Structure 1
Amino acid sequence: MTVEAAPAKDRILDAANRLFYSEGIRAVSVDAIAAKAGLTKKTVYYHFKSKDDLIEAYLMSRDQPNLTLFRKWFEEADGRLAEKIEAIFLNLAMSAQHPKWKGCGFLRTAAELANMPGHPAMKVGAAHKKKFEAWLSDVFDSYSVAKPDELARQIVLLMDGAFSTMLVHRDPAYIEEAGKVAKCIVDNASA
């Protein structure tokens, strides 16, 4: 199906994904999204009652694909639990080398909406981060690691710190180093 043949709502969401991720949510207007989707602004507002609803839908559309990718990287990695966790970071480092990589869309959106804690997108972002943390905790629990919730939180802190530092320095080595630390933490917890 060509972009033009895709349903209008899908075209709008695709355009919003591309523009919000590459340029930021505040920098992108509804006019720009409509133009990128090849539709009118009126059509955008027919499907999304406000830009805030579109921002929320943008993050919701990224939720499951991101979580699925992390699970895939974990499952495809060889080795012990610690090496499988490190593999998530190593795959992120490889992704970060792509010229279009702009970091974590959830964290970038949260930074742009920091003065709006009740914004629907902030709730979607928080839920996404909690789902990842819960998945890690379940993984650690299935490997009989002591205090799986605490370990999951530590890994999330490392990952989000690595995302932020990577955006500042534009050097994937920071994510690789965070992966090494994650591996050590998981090894120690598994011992």
Structure 2
Amino acid sequence: MPRQSDNRDRILGTAYQLFYERGFSRISMDAVAARAGITKRTLYNHFDSKDRLFGEMLKRQSTLAVARIKTWATQQGGSAEDFVATIFERLAAWSAKKRWEGSGFTRLALELADLPGHPGRTAARRHKAMIERVFADELRRRGLKRPEEAARALQILTEGATILTLIHGDSAYVGTAAEAARAVLKGN
């Protein structure tokens, strides 16, 4: 018999796959239960609503993603300019992948744009703020005088490049954002 935490982990993992593949509005609790191989009753014992499941799923994914980003960021050597250049190099490589769909957090939060208090929007907002803090910490560590300001600009530029690359199917937006980031660092 599976433990409660095993079911919960399986539900959250399954929900992430489904929501990432098809979006929030196109996935039902029935679909999550079926894909996870559990009953709807078991699903509702863990999560009383699709909204709560969605918010908890994003919190879990954020914890995993931010840990990966922190690990990657702290392993990067060099100056603030080198760090920022590497971010955009990685974004360019990521966006060049076949069937690239951009950031799941951004796509899913935009789907809920008219629901500002939704648990998914709250989780996405926290996630993006944590990434901005990682950027600020790394820029501070590399001697930048105003790391929070630069991190905010970096967040705007990476998100903007991601969204516009996704919309237009043109990764040149990543290069343009990288140039703008270099200018931000020079002014800092």
Please, what TM-score do these two structures have when normalized by structure 1?
A: 0.85
Q: Quick one: structure 1 residues 53 and 34, their matched pair in 2 at CA, closer, same or farther if it must change by over 3 Å?
A: same
Q: Quick one: structure 1 residues 77 and 148, their matched pair in 2 at CA, closer, same or farther if it must change by over 3 Å?
A: closer
For 2:103, the equivalent position in structure 1 comes to 104
* Residues 22 and 102 in structure 1, CA contact (< 8 A), matched pair in contact too: no
* Residues 74 and 138 in structure 2, CA contact (< 8 A), matched pair in contact too: no
Q: What is the SS of the residue equivalent to 1:7? A: helix
Give the stretch that moved more between structures: 72-81 or 115-124.
Answer: 72-81
For 1:81, the equivalent position in structure 2 comes to 80
For 1:131, the equivalent position in structure 2 comes to 130
Q: Quick one: structure 1 residues 188 and 70, their matched pair in 2 at CA, closer, same or farther if it must change by over 3 Å?
A: farther
The residue type equivalent to 2:13 in the other structure is D
Aligned residues: 185
How far off its partner does 1:139 sit? 2.1
The residue type equivalent to 2:64 in the other structure is P
The residue type equivalent to 2:112 in the other structure is L
Deviation readout 1:52-75 (Å, 9 max, x if unpaired): 111101211221232233334434
How far off its partner does 1:99 sit? 3.5
> What value does the CA root-mean-square deviation take over the aligned residues?
2.2
For 1:3, the equivalent position in structure 2 comes to none
Deviation readout 1:79-121 (Å, 9 max, x if unpaired): 4221211212221222223345321222112211111111122
Q: What is the SS of the residue equivalent to 2:138? A: helix
The residue type equivalent to 2:79 in the other structure is R
Q: Quick one: structure 1 residues 147 and 74, their matched pair in 2 at CA, closer, same or farther if it must change by over 3 Å?
A: same
Q: What is the SS of the residue equivalent to 2:113? A: coil
How far off its partner does 1:187 sit? 4.0
Give the stretch that moved more between structures: 143-152 or 98-107.
Answer: 98-107
* Residues 102 and 162 in structure 2, CA contact (< 8 A), matched pair in contact too: yes
Please, what TM-score do these two structures have when normalized by structure 2?
A: 0.86
The residue type equivalent to 1:26 in the other structure is S
* Residues 60 and 124 in structure 1, CA contact (< 8 A), matched pair in contact too: yes
User: Which ranges in structure 1 are unaligned for 5 or more consecutive residues?
Assistant: 1-5
* Residues 110 and 122 in structure 1, CA contact (< 8 A), matched pair in contact too: yes
- For residues 176 and 17 of structure 1, the distance between their equivalents in structure 2, rounded to whole angstroms, comes to 30
